[in-house]
Structure 1
Amino acid sequence: MTIVKRFIAGAVCPRCGEMDTLKMYRDESREYRECVRCDFSDSMALDGSDQPEGELDTRVNRGGKVELEPAQPLNFVANPGSTKH
């Protein structure tokens, strides 16, 4: 049996957050998803009976300190030539 892997249009990977990188395929009893950018993969029984084991490791809930770049404030000045207030 040849397995045909198809991309899921518009799908966002739950691990890396990239759009249009998930592909899916099936066998007789399971449906599989894989991301082509990161190492994410999962599967589910076709009858929907599987429940995820624990929390999925995503870019949001990973541990570690997040480094933010300092933000520069923007000052908006009204057009001095304008007569409307």
Structure 2
Amino acid sequence: MTVIKRFIAGAVCPRCGEMDCIRTYRDDEREYKECIRCDYEDSMRLDGQPEMEELETRVNRENKPQIEEGAQPLLFTPNPGTSRKDH
């Protein structure tokens, strides 16, 4: 199978910022984009499935942090003698 690479008119490379240097091509599973000036490469699956599982963060973690009973949040208030312009 012959790979046909086509330029994307008006596309700007996210790495080098040059216009009209991104070309795209695909195979049976993936679509690829590459810059001819800085060797930037990117690809994505054609079936729309994510590349990898989502990384665990404090936002999507199943076990939420335990808060001690009776604990109170800290509230930070600005010093009444200063204004924001002084900082």
TM superposition score category, shorter chain reference: 0.5 to 0.7
1:49 deviation in Å?
2.2
Identity rate of aligned residues, in percent? 67
Unpaired runs of 5+ residues, structure 1, are: 53-85
Letter in structure 2 aligned against 1:29:
E
Q: What root-mean-square deviation, in Å, do the aligned CA atoms of Structure 1 and Structure 2 show?
A: 1.5
Letter in structure 2 aligned against 1:31:
E
Q: TM-score, normalised by structure 1?
A: 0.57
Which residue of the partner structure matches residue 50 of structure 1?
A: 50
CA offsets per residue over residues 1-37 of structure 1, 9 Å max, x none? 0000000001000100101000000000100000000
The residue correspondences of 1:59-78 to structure 2 (distance < 5 A) are none
Length, aligned pairs only: 52
Unpaired runs of 5+ residues, structure 2, are: 53-87
Is residue 30–residue 46 contact of structure 2 (8 Å, CA) maintained in 1?
yes
1:51 deviation in Å?
4.9
Letter in structure 2 aligned against 1:18:
E
CA offsets per residue over residues 37-81 of structure 1, 9 Å max, x none? 0020011000222359xxxxxxxxxxxxxxxxxxxxxxxxxxxxx
Find the aligned partners of 1:48 and 1:22 in 2 and give their Cα distance.
Answer: 22
Q: TM-score, normalised by structure 2?
A: 0.56
Which residue of the partner structure matches residue 28 of structure 1?
A: 28
Letter in structure 1 aligned against 2:21:
T
